[in-house]
Amino acid sequence: MRSSVGDSRQATGNSILVIDDSDLTQRLLGEILRPKGFQVHAALSGEEGLRRFFETRPDLVLLDVVLPGLDGFETCQRLLELTDVPVLFLTSIGDEDSIVRGLELGAVDYIVKPFTAKILLARISVALRYYVRTPDEPPAIAYDDGYLRIDVQERRIAVDGKPVKLTSTEFALLTYLFENAGSVLTFAQILDHVWGWDPADRTNVYTYIRRLRHKLEPDADSPRYITVEHGTGYRFEKHI
């Protein structure tokens, strides 16, 4: 079955792939996104979403959890094994375990329906801000202590001489912490800067800090680089 929405073929703007089996949701998202200059591509199942991803090469994916065939979690995992394009869950499934699972798979955000156009557009803008890199930026090594190497412009991270792959959200969080090295960044500051919003729920921060520690720290249980100020937030510690 094909969506009745079709695709937008505008010449300018970022493109977004919407993987959702509801024609109503597809139509609503098209009405929100197209006036803002986005090209919108539609898929009604996980399998179709994977095919459409490689056909359209979108800049961002909006993904439902409940889909025919491959569910949203499986689809997200398969996408992120092959690309660092940001994936945002947009779904009515809002229990804590599902949110944590989606974030731990590497989704940059998890938005629970119902949602407002303003909040959706803000979160999309934040996700794209860290995925799209200015091509004229010169390469520069921002940090290298012999164990951890961070190249911000080239989006390259190495640990003990071995390259480490970060998702766009992980990289955005690490960059924000690194650029404010030595200073404690509050949960509210991190949520606002990295995700573009400041809810009472700190799940996103906890989840992504844990992911970064497991990828970067010599011992994730005794972190050297990303340390916590209990009840306040986190800081990046340089070791040069």
Q: Is residue 4 part of a domain?
A: no
Signed CA dihedral, 124, 127, 130, 132: sign only: negative
Do 88 and 176 have their domain in common? Answer: no
Q: Which amino acid is at 2?
A: R
Same domain, 187 and 229: yes
pLDDT at 203: 86
Q: Are residues 212 and 175 in the same domain?
A: yes
- The domain containing residue 29 runs over which residues? 15-131
pLDDT recorded at residue 202:
82
pLDDT of residue 194: 86
Mean per-residue pLDDT pooled into runs of 10, the chain (240 residues) = 35 82 96 96 94 88 95 92 89 95 94 94 89 47 80 86 90 91 92 75 88 96 95 90
Of 104, 131, 158, at which residue does a domain stop? 131
**Whether residue 122 is found in the same domain as residue 154:** no
pTM as predicted: 0.62
Residue 138 domain-assigned (yes or no):
no
Asked whether residue 200 is domain-assigned, the answer is yes
Quick one: 51 and 147 in the same domain? no
**Do residues 118 and 196 share a domain?**
no
Q: Say how many domains are in the chain.
A: 2
Asked if 122 and 156 sit in the same domain, the reply is: no
The rounded distance, in Å, linking the Cα atoms of 153 and 171 is 11
**pLDDT score at 225:** 97
Residue owning tokens 């994977």: 50
Q: Clarify whether residues 86 and 166 are in a common domain.
A: no
- Domain final residue, candidates 131, 159, 192: 131
Both 161 and 104 in one domain: the answer is no
Residue 89 lies in a domain: yes
Element (H, E) at 174: helix 168-179
The 8 Å CB, 24+ separation contacts for 150-157 are 150/174, 150/178, 152/178, 157/215, 157/216
CATH of the domain at 108: 3.40.50.2300
